Structure 1
Amino acid sequence: MQIVKYLKQYRIPFSGLAAGKHNFEFEIDDKFFDCYEHSLIKKGQLKADVEMQKQENMLIVNFHITGVIQLTCDVCLSEFESPLDFHERALVKFTDEDWNQDTEEVLVLSKTDYELDIAGLLYEYANVRVPYYSKCAEQGMNQSCDPEMLAKLSSEAADAEEDNTEEQIDPRWDILKNIKNN
């Protein structure tokens, strides 16, 4: 129930607005991402500037989202801040018919609806921007991988390689393999 209450602040009541452009600002923080169980983003500080153009039969909603999200490096496992700055657009059509065919860019609302819930859109737009492969040096701000962790990883890789070569050299295994063939 708390989740639903928190996400209510991401609704835009458009029924009383005059035709034309209207601007809104929304803060997106850790609490927002906590509302979504499977969110790729757990921590972040984003600001969404939303411009809504109200027309008779539709809304044109432009999003400009900026800020930083917390990612974990896939190489050295350290957490780092990654900047985000992007634009998105959604079209909202009004209809009296039973319409279940929302597309990626066109949302459909009933003519009796009076507010637009953009929480799902903000969540989707931010999570789509999470890179498939996170690396400090590539997505971080003037940051490189943790040298101590890289040294540990390279020494463990060298140890594992030594173990593999020792197994290949040991002639006892070759003799045991021949027993299986008899």
Structure 2
Amino acid sequence: MKYLKKYKIPFSGLSAGKHNFEFDVDDAFFACFDHSLVKKGKLIAQVQLQKQENMLITNFDINGHITLTCDVCLREFQAPLSTKERVIVKFTHDEWDQDSDEIIVLSHNDYEFDISNLLYEYINVCVPHYPKCSEQGENIDCDPEMLQQLADEETVKNELKEDQVDPRWEALKNIKNN
């Protein structure tokens, strides 16, 4: 978790106005999260933080490539990823129990904003439900050898199903002939 310390923005010393930050998101970042859908990737997160008196408006622009495994042929491939998100950070002295995806509440005593979990969520939400080389990859098709093996296996299964008839159905056919 020491690695994630570099994804904290110390906002307490910043003047009011817009400030830009850039973060590299790589394999070591994804290794910090046990159940991440993404294990490998090379992304750049550009974060624009607009500091105001009682809140921070944070815009994320994440671009790069992630490594996915094709659900059809099991080949690893590079998939482009590009997303833009926005979150508002409000400061309060009181307890805040209204959860929202776009609003985060911090105490007035906080002095830094940890964006590692936000980056993790934004990237993992962009992962397709059904990754496929030919759909999400750039100029790549599924492995033809694996596709041929799958087709051959499917043909064998269909032939076995046609050859095997459940004996209970055979017995019922005999009833019809009586």
Give the shorter-chain TM-score range: over 0.9
Q: Does residue 174 in structure 1 map to residue 174 in structure 2?
A: no
How do 1:33-182 residues align onto structure 2 when only pairs under 5 Å count?
33-168=30-165, 174-175=170-171
Counterpart of 1:113, as a letter, is D
Where structure 2 has 5 or more consecutive residues not aligned to the other structure, the ranges are none
**Structure 1 unaligned spans of 5+:** none
Q: Distance in 1 between matches of 2:99 and 2:90?
A: 10
SS at match of 2:164: helix
State the distance in 2 between where 1:43 and 1:53 align.
Answer: 31
Following the alignment from structure 2 to structure 1, what is the Cα–Cα distance between the partners of residues 164 and 52?
73
Scaled by the length of structure 2, the TM-score of the pair is 0.93
CA distance in 1, matches of 2:6, 2:12: 16
CA distance in 1, matches of 2:86, 2:14: 20
| 2:28 is aligned with 1:31 | yes
- Secondary structure of the structure 2 residue equivalent to 1:36: coil
TM-score by length of 1: 0.91
Q: Which amino acid aligns with 1:42?
A: K
Q: Structure 1 residues 55-64 or 99-108, which shifts more?
A: 99-108
Residues paired across the two proteins, number:
174
The runs of 4+ residues in structure 1 deviating greater than 4 Å are 170-173
Question: C-alpha root-mean-square deviation of aligned residues, in Å?
Answer: 1.7
2:30 counterpart of 1:22? no
% identity of equivalent residues: 61
- Partner Cα distance (2:77, 2:36) in 1: 17
Question: 1:85 offset after TM fit, Å?
Answer: 1.1
Distance (Å, rounded) in 1 between the aligned partners of 2:53 and 2:68: 42
Tell me the amino acid that sits aligned with residue 150 of structure 2.
L
